[in-house]
Amino acid sequence: MSKTYKVTLKPSGEIVEVEEGKNLLVALREQNIYIKSSCGGHATCSDCILKVVSGEDYITPPPFAELKLLGNVFHITKERLACQTCLTGDVTIDISKHDRATDEAKLKNKTVNFSKKKQHIKIRKEPDIKKIRTERADERAKEEVENLAKAETWKKHWEKNQDSEAPKKLAGGKRPKFFDTDKVDYEKNDYTRPLSPEKQKMKDDRLETERLKAANDKKNIATDKEYKKFRE
């Protein structure tokens, strides 16, 4: 015959006997003591948590499944999963969080709220669906027409008479200017197209500056040579 151990239940003070090797969830439920559990004792819901008040040396250590769910904090919280806890001696546990009336009231409230929400669900019939689809198609067609009209008004808008109060468009509603490549071509020596007077003057000034610089460099070289001869 297997050993049995005494379990004192708080806050009622009731004392029950639990067989060795049987977890507290099964043992207490067999004696019609309510312990909440959603997973059926597989250590996945944490609903069957209870608090060990005394006799913590007489309970089996938590398995990996319990540690993965609660963590290794029993020395702080004194909480264990009833479905994973077996006894090796007499203990006192607190099951004040497990109240059948409270849990049934919460479940009933959830059911009532769900049924109320379900009543507000609108079921559309086939004629209503066709009407909605037709309205949406008309809205899309209208939007496409408006977009095309906007695109037409944008074409060559700089050639049209602009209202002073109309919102400004890109570049102030002016005709876009082409990129001027004259300066780029002017900087090349193989430029052959006729230049404007201003750019022709710029070109002449540049050539004159280059000529003066070259002459100055020659003069400096000649001076350096004469100085070297003098030193020799």
Given a contact cutoff of 8 angstroms between Cβ atoms, the answer to whether 16 and 7 are in contact is: yes
Of 25, 21, 81, nearest to 50 by C-alpha is 81
| Residue 204 pLDDT level (bands cut at 50, 70, 90) | confident
DSSP code of 59? B
pLDDT digits (tens, 9 = 90+) for 175-187: 666 555 555 555 5
Last residue of a domain, one of 73, 98, 123: 98
Q: CA-to-CA distance for 5 and 3, rounded, in angstroms?
A: 7
Is 216 inside any structural domain? yes
- Provide mean pLDDT across the span 195-208: 82
Is pLDDT above 70 for 107? yes
Is 12 inside any structural domain? yes
Is pLDDT above 60 for 13? yes
Last residue of a domain, one of 98, 117, 148: 98
Last residue of a domain, one of 54, 80, 98: 98
Query: What total number of domains does the chain contain?
Result: 2
The whole-chain average pLDDT of the chain stands at 81
Spell out the residues 6+ positions from residue 92 whose beta carbon is closer than 8 angstroms to its own. Answer: 7, 8, 9, 10, 52, 53, 54, 55
pTM value?
0.47
CATH number of the CATH domain containing 58:
3.10.20.30
Residue 94 tokens, joined: 């607190």
Predicted local confidence at residue 162, as pLDDT:
56
Share of the chain above pLDDT 90, in %: 37
Predicted local confidence at residue 55, as pLDDT:
92
* 201: containing domain: 182-231
Query: What is the C-alpha end-to-end distance of the chain, expressed in Å?
Result: 127
Is 113 inside any structural domain? no
Predicted local confidence at residue 85, as pLDDT:
93
Is 79 inside any structural domain? yes
Residue 23 tokens, joined: 């977890």
Predicted local confidence at residue 142, as pLDDT:
92
- Provide mean pLDDT across the span 188-197: 62
Is 137 inside any structural domain? no
Predicted local confidence at residue 61, as pLDDT:
93
Is pLDDT above 70 for 158? no
Is 28 inside any structural domain? yes
Is 54 inside any structural domain? yes
Top-ranked range on mean pLDDT: pick from 163-172, 174-183, 209-218, 222-231? 209-218
Is 76 inside any structural domain? yes
Predicted local confidence at residue 116, as pLDDT:
56
